[in-house]
């Protein structure tokens, strides 16, 4: 019991460490601080003498594996190897390919690890007795979902899936036991693997921020060194003077042309004429306008976004003589903002396709753990009968089209009845009523959907000329629901209620809805049932099952 409690405590500490590092990455753009703190916390957690983050040169293959240690945490300064360069060709030839495949190296004792001599000499040189090496891989572009996946191998290693995803070996996260051999626990290997993923995210985030800063600096440099548009206008809305830069910005050949052509700035320059009145109103109340953004017409009828900074020039009595100011073309910035807004909306849509809206909102508020207990819900499982035989007669495209038609119909029913679809697995469909927002009529809503699912299958069969049937199982009771996953979020349910609902489906009859006594008790006043009898459930023995026939 004490050992089990210790394991649970260590697991909680690992999860806490992962959560803290993930939150630090979200909140900070200081990559060096993130990596330094991570190395220190990992060393403290694993109780090793040294933890380093090794960064390869940009061209791993061409550099012969060369690079340097960029972050280090040691228990004793004498063990420091910071900025140590590794250029051993054998190290590159023997180790780099496996690291590029995402494989982990765990050596309890380097003298019994059958390592290449050059690599062994290198480890002895830096006083290593046992080491744990995890590659840090940067995922460049992850198509569709933006979430990376890993292939699992029988030897326990994991490598990124090939395909549209591009990846780059950034470096290594390494733990060194210097004073003695050490057996690396599976939980420790798993921790460093997950941390390497978090470090990869931090590095990628830092690179993106760096390039964004450089782009912004270039943009500001162009703006500061360019001659901005300069103007003077009458209170009535005519240009008094215009510099060549503003004339060019508006598409005119000369200042004289724009001055003689524009008689009313409100209607001839601004796409929205009321912007001129707003411009004047702000100056009257604040004496100046700053970053006044508007869409304007150019000479050829095209439009651009501009930003104005201006003030009113008055005489001794306070009467406005004219307005003067500068104009900048901010069209590119507005396009970028619109693109970012579109991307945010797309991301929001994707998130809501994966998670319920209340859960997605909590996740965006940076809740580290989302797990809730619901005392009363109804869980429905449905499965296509004879799907294996059906799939053998169809091409992959036809099969996916049929499944999409069926599950899309079920999705519409779930939305209509205010139910939460949990997932589809192959030809199985899972939906629940009563969460994430509790509702008293969860059983009735699930029952109505089940009956309509049978009717929906009849319509689909008529459309596609098939005779597909489904089994449906329902159970009601308490569950635990929450979000699992680090790189790929899933909202799922756990508990006996879920397991029994699944058994109700698997032991059910084709074209029928089989429910437990708990569900029948909720629905007896409004629905008709037929007793089927006792059903054996593994781990629970025999329980009574009923067939839901319809509403009374």
All structural domains of the chain, each given as residue ranges with its CATH number in brackets, are 2-214 (3.30.450.40), 229-334 (3.30.450.20), 355-551 (3.30.70.1230)
* Model pLDDT, residue 197: 87
Tokens describing residue 407: 């599950």
pLDDT digits (tens, 9 = 90+) for 125-176: 889 999 999 999 887 643 333 333 444 443 444 444 444 456 788 899 999 9
pLDDT > 70 fraction of the chain, expressed in percent and rounded: 82
> Which two three-digit tokens encode residue 543?
């329980």
pLDDT of residue 491: 75
Phi then psi for 217, rounded to 5 degrees?
-65, -40
How much is the pLDDT for 102? Answer: 86
Output the DSSP codes for 449-516: HHHHHHHHHHHHHHHHT---EEEEEEEEEEEEEEEE-SSS-EEEEESHHHHHHHHHHHTS-TT-EEEE
pLDDT at 356: 58
- Taking the C-alpha atoms of residue 487 and residue 148, their distance in angstroms, rounded to an integer, is 7
Q: Is 182 exposed, middle or buried (0-12, 13-18, 19+ CB in 10 A)?
A: buried
Query: pLDDT tier at 312 (50, 70, 90 boundaries)?
Result: very high
186-225 vs 2-27: helix axis angle to the nearest 10? 10
DSSP codes, 183-240 = PPPHHHHHHHHHHHHHHHHHHHHHHHHHHHHHHHHHHHHHHHHS--EEEEE-TTS-EE
- What does the pLDDT read at residue 145? 32
Whether 534 shows a pLDDT value over 70: the answer reads: yes
Cα–Cα distance, 74 to 44 (Å, whole number) = 9
Quick check: pTM over 0.85?
no
Banded model confidence at residue 353, pLDDT cuts 50, 70, 90: low
What is the structure's pLDDT at 288? Answer: 93
Average per-residue pLDDT in the chain?
A: 83
Q: Which of 48-52, 142-146, 242-246, 336-340 has the lowest mean pLDDT?
A: 142-146
Which of 35-49, 200-214, 349-363 shows the lowest per-residue confidence on average (mean pLDDT)?
349-363
Tell me what the mean pLDDT of segment 234-257 comes to.
92
Q: What is the mean pLDDT of residues 295-315?
A: 94
**Count of beta carbons in the 10 Å neighbourhood of residue 327:** 23
On the question of pLDDT at 42 being above 60, the answer is yes
**Cα 499 from Cα 501, distance rounded (Å):** 5
pLDDT for position 147:
32
pLDDT single digits (tens) 12-39:
777 787 777 777 776 777 888 888 888 9
Structure tokens at 125: 């040189």
């Amino acid at each position: 019991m004490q050992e089990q409690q210790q394991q649970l405590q260590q697991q909680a500490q690992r999860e806490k460490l992962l959560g803290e590092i993930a939150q630090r990455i979200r909140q900070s753009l200081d990559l060096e601080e993130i990596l330094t703190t991570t190395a220190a916390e990992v060393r403290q957690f694993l109780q090793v003498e040294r933890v380093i983050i090794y960064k390869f040169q940009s061209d791993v293959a061409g550099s012969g594996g060369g690079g340097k240690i960029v972050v280090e945490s040691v228990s004793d300064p004498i063990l420091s190897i910071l900025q140590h360069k590794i250029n051993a060709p054998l190290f590159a030839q023997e180790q780099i390919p496996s690291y590029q495949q995402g494989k982990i190296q765990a050596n309890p004792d380097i003298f019994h690890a059958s390592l290449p001599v050059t690599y062994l000499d290198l480890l002895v040189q830096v006083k290593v007795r046992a080491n744990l090496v995890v590659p840090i891989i940067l995922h460049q572009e992850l198509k569709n979902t933006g979430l990376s996946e890993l292939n699992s191998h029988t030897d326990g290693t994991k490598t990124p899936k090939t395909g549209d995803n591009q990846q780059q070996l950034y470096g290594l996260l390494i733990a060194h036991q210097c004073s003695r051999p050490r057996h690396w626990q599976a939980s420790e290997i798993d921790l460093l693997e997950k941390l390497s993923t978090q470090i990869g995210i931090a590095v990628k985030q830092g690179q993106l921020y760096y390039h964004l800063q450089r782009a912004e600096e270039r943009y500001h440099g162009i703006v500061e060194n360019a001659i901005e548009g300069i103007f003077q206008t009458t209170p009535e809305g005519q240009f008094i003077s215009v510099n060549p830069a503003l004339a060019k910005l508006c598409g005119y050949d000369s200042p004289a042309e724009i001055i003689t052509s524009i008689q009313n700035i409100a209607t001839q320059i601004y796409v929205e004429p009321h912007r001129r009145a707003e411009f004047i109103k702000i100056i009257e109340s604040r004496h100046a306008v700053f970053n006044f953004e508007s869409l304007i017409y150019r000479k050829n009828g095209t439009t651009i976004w501009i930003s104005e900074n201006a003030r009113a020039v008055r005489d001794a009595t306070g009467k406005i003589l004219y307005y003067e100011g500068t104009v900048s073309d901010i069209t590119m910035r507005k396009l970028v903002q619109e693109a970012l807004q579109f991307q945010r909306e797309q991301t929001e849509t994707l998130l809501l396709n994966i998670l319920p809206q209340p859960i997605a909102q909590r996740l965006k508020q940076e809740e580290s753990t989302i797990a809730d207990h619901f005392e009363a819900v109804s869980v429905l499982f449905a499965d296509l009968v004879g799907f294996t035989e059906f799939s053998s007669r169809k091409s992959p495209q036809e099969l996916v089209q049929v499944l999409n038609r069926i599950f899309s119909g079920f999705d519409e029913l779930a939305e209509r009845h205010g139910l939460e679809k949990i997932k589809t697995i192959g030809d199985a469909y899972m939906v629940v009523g009563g969460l994430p927002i509790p509702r008293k009529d969860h059983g009735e809503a699930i029952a109505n959907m089940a009956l309509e699912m049978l009717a929906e299958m009849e319509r689909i069969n008529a459309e596609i000329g098939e005779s597909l049937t489904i089994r449906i199982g329902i159970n009601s009771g308490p569950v635990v629901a929450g979000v699992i996953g680090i790189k790929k979020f899933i909202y799922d349910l756990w508990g006996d209620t879920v397991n029994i609902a699944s058994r109700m489906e698997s032991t059910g009859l084709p074209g029928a809805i089989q429910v437990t006594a708990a569900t029948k008790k909720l629905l007896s006043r409004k629905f008709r049932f037929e007793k089927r009898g006792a059903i054996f459930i593994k781990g629970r023995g025999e329980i009574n099952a009923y067939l839901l026939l319809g509403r009374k």
